Amino acid sequence: MNAPLDKPMPPLPARRDVRGDVALFAVVASLLAVGVALVVRLGSPQLSWWTVALAATCSSSCGLVGCYLVLRKMSLLGDAISHAVLPGIALAFFFTGQITGLPILLGAMALGVLTTLLTQTLRDYGNVPEDTGMGVVYTGLFAAGVIMVQLGARQVDLDPGCVLYGLLDFAALDTTSVFGVEVPRSMLTLGVALALTVAFIAAFWKELKITSFDAGLATAMGYRAMLVHYLLMAVVAGVTVASFEAVGSILVVAMLIVPGATAHLLTDRLGWMLVWSVVVSVLSALYGFAISSWLNVSVAGMMAVVAGAQFALAVFLAPRHGLLVKWVSSVRLAMRIVGEDIVARLYRSEEVAAAGAGGSSMAVTSTAAAVPSPASREHRATVWGRLRRAWAAWGLVNSGLARRTADGELQLTAAGRQTGRSIVRAHRLWESYLERHFELPLDHVHEPAERMEHFLGPELQTQLAEQLAEPVQDPHGRSIPPS
């Protein structure tokens, strides 16, 4: 049979509750609408929309690959790569004089894969722990990149500030004509990056999924986990480099990790996680732009802050994994247990009273001695404990399990008696079960049973009774009430 359960069993998952998800959809939709309205109100529309579109495109592609980084517990590799591509950007810029285009993309991808390779080489051949190796590799590369940019800044127009924090506003101004429409030059790069990211995910959907969730299984099934790993790293590097002009090479980390992590809190399905990460990215772009143009502060920084705020909201309010939901359900459980304890206590005292009337004084004394006296526990109770009990009692009266007598005492109703019987039955069955199958000494069976009684429903009770051949008495010699 099962191992002894020293922790209460979690309640079986309830039927999928969609109310939280519906609320989530509603909140997100209204947030989107408000964000659009804000952007419409602020700034010149033409420019604003291109800026927002740039920001949204860049952070969406980052958010999409970021989901996989978060799932694979490789967020920091994303951080490392986004720093390490800087020398690649600088080099390609010195040779081509442009900060967009294929050479830069290729250079950055090469450096992204190089970072991973170097870290792994240090780990495998130098016995350097992975985090330390990563710390050395990416800071070294980043430092080299900064110095190259600084030294090169004199000859060419590569602004260190732009590289570090991005210049979204100016990126939107630098336009080119596509089929007669004025489009910001970097929109082309970012659009291509987004398209490539989506294509990559679509093409390697199955491979990415299986290697992300179970790399060992993937390898055993014949997928090349390492190949997928390096491909993903190359895509991360490409996305990073496409985005650096808009958000800078440091804040791109926020765009990579925060939407994915937020989405991870909102759902358990990979497909939805990708969708939510895009939503978070778009909201970051909208609100980040709106607030920053209102306060006249850095757009990229504000986008990171807005993303962080969404993450904080998700931490507290997410439908299934939010702290609030967890807290409410644990309070509910605690209240149910307190209420059931009261009902069981009332049932036991009725039992004792009936036995006393029946005249078997032996049984009464032994029962009274074995059951920890509720009075003594009440005596030790804190203010919080009393408050909790009062609340639970009120709940019992409210749900018709108990009623107040004229002098304020709680008394079980017929329904309450039924519940109490079931709980006491569960308690005593479990004590018998523990005694029979685990050979626990008599003074050790009460405590676990006191916890298990709240989680043994009618079905489990029947099974237990069958296993124990319909016992009539528990190990302490008290009768087990019929179901």
Nearest to 308 by CA among 329, 334, 337, 287: 287
Nearer to another protein by Cβ, of 216 and 441: the residue is 216
CB of 313 to another protein, least distance (A): 13
What Rg, from alpha-carbon coordinates, does the chain have? 32
Nearer to another protein by Cβ, of 83 and 388: the residue is 83
CB of 305 to another protein, least distance (A): 5
CB of 375 to another protein, least distance (A): 37
Nearer to another protein by Cβ, of 327 and 438: the residue is 327
Nearer to another protein by Cβ, of 148 and 423: the residue is 148
**What are the residues whose beta carbons fall under 8 Å from the beta carbon of 223, sequence distance 6 or more?**
207, 210, 211
CB of 233 to another protein, least distance (A): 15
> For every residue of the chain, which 3-state class applies, written as one string?
CCCCCCCCCCCCCCCCCCHHHHHHHHHHHHHHHHHHHHHHHCCCHHHHHHHHHHHHHHHHHHHHHHHHHHHCCCHHHHHHHHHHCHHHHHHHHHHHCCCCCHHHHHHHHHHHHHHHHHHHHHHHHHCCCHHHHHHHHHHHHHHHHHHHHHHHCCCCCCCHHHHHHCCHHHHHHCEEEECCEEEEHHHHHHHHHHHHHHHHHHHCHHHHHHHHHCHHHHHHCCCCHHHHHHHHHHHHHHHHHHHHHHHHHHHHHHHHHHHHHHHHHHCCCHHHHHHHHHHHHHHHHHHHHHHHHHHCCCHHHHHHHHHHHHHHHHHHHCCCCCHHHHHHHHHHHHHHHHHHHHHHHHHHHHHHHHHHHHCCHHHHHHHHHHCCCHHHHHHHCCHHHHHHHHHHHHHHHHCCCEEECCCCCEEECHHHHHHHHHHHHHHHHHHHHHHHHHCCCHHHCHHHHHHHCCCCCHHHHHHHHHHCCCCCECCCCCECCCC
Nearer to another protein by Cβ, of 302 and 465: the residue is 302
Residues in contact with another protein by CB under 8 A are: 70, 73-76, 78-79, 83, 122, 125-129, 131-136, 139-140, 142-144, 146-147, 150-151, 164-165, 250-251, 253-254, 256-258, 260-261, 264-265, 292, 295-298, 300-305, 307-308, 311, 315, 321, 323
Nearer to another protein by Cβ, of 321 and 389: the residue is 321
CB of 187 to another protein, least distance (A): 23
Pairing of the two strands 410-412 and 402-404 = antiparallel
Nearer to another protein by Cβ, of 306 and 456: the residue is 306
Nearer to another protein by Cβ, of 73 and 269: the residue is 73
CB of 75 to another protein, least distance (A): 4
CB of 19 to another protein, least distance (A): 21
Nearer to another protein by Cβ, of 136 and 368: the residue is 136
Backbone angles phi, psi at 322, to 5 degrees: -75, 150
**What are the residues whose beta carbons fall under 8 Å from the beta carbon of 437, sequence distance 6 or more?**
1
Nearer to another protein by Cβ, of 251 and 343: the residue is 251
Nearer to another protein by Cβ, of 330 and 361: the residue is 330
Nearer to another protein by Cβ, of 54 and 74: the residue is 74
Nearer to another protein by Cβ, of 72 and 417: the residue is 72
CB of 398 to another protein, least distance (A): 32
CB of 155 to another protein, least distance (A): 13
Contact 433, 467 (CB under 8 A): yes
CB of 110 to another protein, least distance (A): 19
Contact 266, 24 (CB under 8 A): yes
CB of 256 to another protein, least distance (A): 8
CB of 301 to another protein, least distance (A): 3
CB of 79 to another protein, least distance (A): 5
Q: Considering Cα of 317, then 300, then 36, then 61, what sign does the dihedral take? A: negative
Nearest to 245 by CA among 112, 51, 406: 51
